A and B are shown apart, each in its own frame.
Chain A
Amino acid sequence: MSALIEVTDLKTYFYTEDGVVKAVDGVDFTIEHEKTLGVVGESGCGKSQTALSIMGLIPTPPGKIAAGTIKYYRNGGQPVDLVKLNPKGKEYRSIRGNEIAMIFQEPMTSLNPVYTIGDQIMEAIVLHQKVNKKEARDRAIKMLKAVGISLPEQRVDEYPHQMSGGMRQRVMIAMALSCNPQLLVADEPTTALDVTIQAQILELIKSLQDEFHMAMMMITHNLGVIAETADDVIVMYMGKVVEQAKATDIFHDPLHPYTQGLMESIPALTKKKDRLKPIKGVVPDPYNLPKGCPFEPRCPHAMDICREQMPPLKDYKPNHKAACWLYE
């Protein structure tokens, strides 16, 4: 499979009065056509900022993409470096929402309460596709049907408050997919939902991905959701990728002590553990990061070199990268 998006050494910094926050600090990854990249990490690790960097939605100021490239292979042709495009310019706008679409965590707040859901889906279609209003409306109804909303001809004229959380997330998905994107960026799409509704939405996303032949970037802190959806996984900690591999390798043979710690700290559904093994300590202050590896203060295997120098992200097994001095 060929690459759809190649991110190289991406650095997204926020310049605040209290100092510089390196939200994304030298991130590399590739998303292939029709594949799903899972991005795991805890709050503040930079996973959402990575997504917003691809979308060209970093609030500037205070934020800024300080370095790196995001190569997007448009229609299988020559790559476009999204970092070099003006986020408000014509070319970016023809990509954003059209070829690369995003769904957000909060289905309650991401929809505009004063427009009908039909209007909101049609807005994207009319903007990006050369169709008239009638066709756009038909398309919106078709999309609502595709995401499993019953009576789409009636519900297209309803307002967001008339729908439940799960329904609104379906509307968000319908909106994102209405222009048949190449890449869907899903930022915690099921976190705000109950488990039985989460199961519905995950099944829906997976079947639509097959149907529409799109690639996906699935961002979540839930390891279960990653295991169910991702082909490849990157694990992020304090703005850096600390491990990258196929999903099975991440779960069955995690290399980085942070990934290992995450796996050990979660209680299992299928068997009872005697005692959980938490990761000690707390995440470091983002204004005042350790000089070496950011995980060093919490790492059970920390060595002298870890305090001094950030380890490089390197292959230590076939197609399995980690950033850790343990394997040097």
Chain B
Amino acid sequence: MENTNGSGRILLEVKDLKKYFPVKRGIFRRTVAHVKAVDGVSFFIREGETLGLVGESGCGKTTTGRVILKLIEPTSGQVILSRDSQMVDLARLRPRQLKPLRREMQIIFQDPYSSLNPRMTIGDIIAEPLVVHSVARGKEREARVKELLEAVGLNPNYMKRYPHEFSGGQRQRIGIARALALDPKLIICDEPVSALDVSIQAQVINLLQDLQKEFGLTYLFIAHDLSVVRHISDRIAVMYLGRIVEMAETEKIFTVPKHPYTEALLSAVPVPDPEFHRERIILKGDVPSPVNPPSGCHFHPRCPYAQAICSQKVPVLEDIGGGHYASCHFARELKLAGVADFTEKH
């Protein structure tokens, strides 16, 4: 088995999570509609594993990550974190009750340029979580910052420098060191390598994998680059317009996809081999607006296999065998192409 990560114990479980943002109009700021950014998302992450969350811009993957951390209040649903074998629903906690739990969950942001305060030294940036949670002071704090810098492959003597003195890849390492400062269990990686050049991406991906092994971390890895997600994830959830349409072990998603959207995504990625040919599924049109999503299955207006029922009934995300979840009325019948089916050279 390739997927060796994960002890089997569930660390985080998200149940029917919803986040609707109100759209306000007029002088009385009346709510005229809602953007259904996250519209009933359920999944779980086992301790020590990496769950990849993929989807195109506007599908709600970033909002999902932020709602889990309660950086955004959920509209409804549960976010259950297992802590010392106790289950705590974060969605119900007040800010004061939540604070000690924040040590367990951290985030790495996409843009290493805007996520570091340019007026703070990197020593102060990395020490800030320690200050906020009064974990260490004085010499002890400094020692911890040095230890963290070393862990992410930066020279500990850089402590007194400012973010502008570092390249994108180095800044992302600083962001990772900050996320590690409180010894978290879960790290939400929100497109951590998308802003980096390819030769630097690999360095950061390898670092994230090494740190996971060393500290037993659990990752929710949010990204739109399917090759990167395949490389790092044990399991993958595919999102479309606020809902998870498919979730399974990485190899299954890539070899035997069960949702037409996953199939189309896989076929859309350009492959770095000029002799590689395949039947490409070109989806019609754009992703519809989450203010007024299509009826029934959100994907039906673009789906090449859509039938009458798809516009009428919302499909349920259900296990169609061996932990392979799909929300499609025809998930069991359709024979969809995975990457292995189009690697044949013509």
Whether the pair B286, A164 counts as a contact (CB closer than 8 A) is yes
Among A252, A269, A279, contact of B230 (Cβ-Cβ < 8 Å):
A269
Interface status of A84 (Cβ within 8 A of chain B): no
Whether the pair A251, B273 counts as a contact (CB closer than 8 A) is yes
Among A198, A251, A262, contact of B274 (Cβ-Cβ < 8 Å):
A251
Please name all residues of chain B whose beta carbon is closer than 8 Å to the beta carbon of A221 when the two chains form the complex. Answer: 197-198
Which of B169, B203, B224, B274 has the most chain A CB atoms closer than 10 A to its own CB?
B274
Whether the pair B231, A267 counts as a contact (CB closer than 8 A) is yes
Interface status of B202 (Cβ within 8 A of chain A): yes
Q: How far is the CA of A199 from the CA of B56 in the complex (A)?
A: 13
Please name all residues of chain A whose beta carbon is closer than 8 Å to the beta carbon of B198 when the two chains form the complex. Answer: 42, 221, 223, 262, 265-266
Among A194, A261, A267, A279, contact of B227 (Cβ-Cβ < 8 Å):
A267
Chain A residue at smallest Cβ distance from B167: A282
Whether the pair A200, B282 counts as a contact (CB closer than 8 A) is yes
Among A200, A224, A276, contact of B269 (Cβ-Cβ < 8 Å):
A224
Interface status of B86 (Cβ within 8 A of chain A): no
Whether the pair A266, B224 counts as a contact (CB closer than 8 A) is no
Binds B, one of A15-23, A125-133, A225-233: A225-233
Interface size, chain A (Cβ < 8 Å): 46
Interface status of B2 (Cβ within 8 A of chain A): yes
Q: How far is the CA of A230 from the CA of B276 in the complex (A)?
A: 13
Interface size, chain B (Cβ < 8 Å): 46
Which of B197, B226, B280, B282 has the most chain A CB atoms closer than 10 A to its own CB?
B197
Contact string, A255-274, partner B, CB cutoff 8 A, digits 1/0?
00000011101111110110
Interface status of A162 (Cβ within 8 A of chain B): no
**Contact of A203 with B273 at beta-carbon distance under 8 Å, contacts A195-B224, A267-B231 already known:** no
Within 8 A of B (CB), among A189-225: 194-200, 202-203, 221-225
- Distance in angstroms from A316 CB to nearest chain B CB is 20
Whether the pair A276, B231 counts as a contact (CB closer than 8 A) is yes
Whether the pair B197, A224 counts as a contact (CB closer than 8 A) is no
Whether the pair A194, B200 counts as a contact (CB closer than 8 A) is no
Q: How far is the CA of A261 from the CA of B266 in the complex (A)?
A: 25
Interface status of A101 (Cβ within 8 A of chain B): no
Interface status of B307 (Cβ within 8 A of chain A): no
**Contact of A167 with B339 at beta-carbon distance under 8 Å, contacts A269-B227, A269-B269, A278-B200 already known:** no
Among B202, B224, B271, contact of A269 (Cβ-Cβ < 8 Å):
B271
Interface status of B265 (Cβ within 8 A of chain A): yes
Whether the pair B269, A195 counts as a contact (CB closer than 8 A) is yes
Which of A166, A262, A269, A280 has the most chain B CB atoms closer than 10 A to its own CB?
A269
- Distance in angstroms from B235 CB to nearest chain A CB is 13
Interface status of A248 (Cβ within 8 A of chain B): yes
- Distance in angstroms from B33 CB to nearest chain A CB is 18
Q: How far is the CA of A226 from the CA of B270 in the complex (A)?
A: 9
Q: How would you classify the secondary structure of chain B's contact residues: helix, strand, loop or mixed? A: helix
Interface status of A117 (Cβ within 8 A of chain B): no
- Distance in angstroms from B165 CB to nearest chain A CB is 12
Whether the pair B286, A166 counts as a contact (CB closer than 8 A) is yes
Q: How far is the CA of A42 from the CA of B287 in the complex (A)?
A: 30
Whether the pair A265, B230 counts as a contact (CB closer than 8 A) is no
**Contact of A198 with B286 at beta-carbon distance under 8 Å, contacts A42-B199, A262-B198 already known:** no
Interface status of A277 (Cβ within 8 A of chain B): yes
**Contact of A195 with B265 at beta-carbon distance under 8 Å, contacts A265-B199, A269-B230, A276-B231 already known:** yes
Among A226, A262, A278, contact of B203 (Cβ-Cβ < 8 Å):
A278
Please name all residues of chain A whose beta carbon is closer than 8 Å to the beta carbon of B283 when the two chains form the complex. Answer: 196, 199-200
Interface status of B312 (Cβ within 8 A of chain A): no
Whether the pair A228, B270 counts as a contact (CB closer than 8 A) is yes
Whether the pair A265, B201 counts as a contact (CB closer than 8 A) is yes
Interface status of B316 (Cβ within 8 A of chain A): no
Within 8 A of A (CB), among B145-201: 167, 169-170, 197-201
Among A194, A195, A225, A278, contact of B202 (Cβ-Cβ < 8 Å):
A278
Whether the pair B275, A272 counts as a contact (CB closer than 8 A) is no
Interface status of A247 (Cβ within 8 A of chain B): yes
Chain B residue at smallest Cβ distance from A38: B274
Interface status of A317 (Cβ within 8 A of chain B): no
Q: How far is the CA of A250 from the CA of B197 in the complex (A)?
A: 19
Interface status of A275 (Cβ within 8 A of chain B): yes
Contact string, A155-199, partner B, CB cutoff 8 A, digits 1/0?
000000000101100000000000000000000000000111111
| 7 tightest A-B CB contacts, nearest first | A224-B270, A278-B202, A267-B231, A199-B268, A265-B202, A194-B56, A223-B272
Chain B residues near A (Cβ < 8 Å): 2, 56-57, 167, 169-170, 197-203, 205-206, 209, 224, 226-228, 230-231, 250-251, 254, 264-276, 280, 282-283, 286-287, 339-340, 343
Known pairs A196-B264, A227-B276, A276-B202. 13 more at Cβ < 8 A? A42-B198, A43-B197, A166-B286, A197-B56, A222-B270, A224-B270, A227-B274, A228-B271, A251-B272, A261-B199, A267-B205, A267-B228, A269-B266
- CB-defined A-B contacts under 8 Å, sample of 11: A197-B56, A200-B282, A227-B272, A227-B273, A248-B274, A265-B201, A266-B202, A267-B202, A269-B227, A269-B269, A278-B201
Chain A residues near B (Cβ < 8 Å): 42-43, 164, 166-167, 194-200, 202-203, 221-228, 230, 247-248, 251-252, 261-263, 265-270, 272-273, 275-280, 282-283
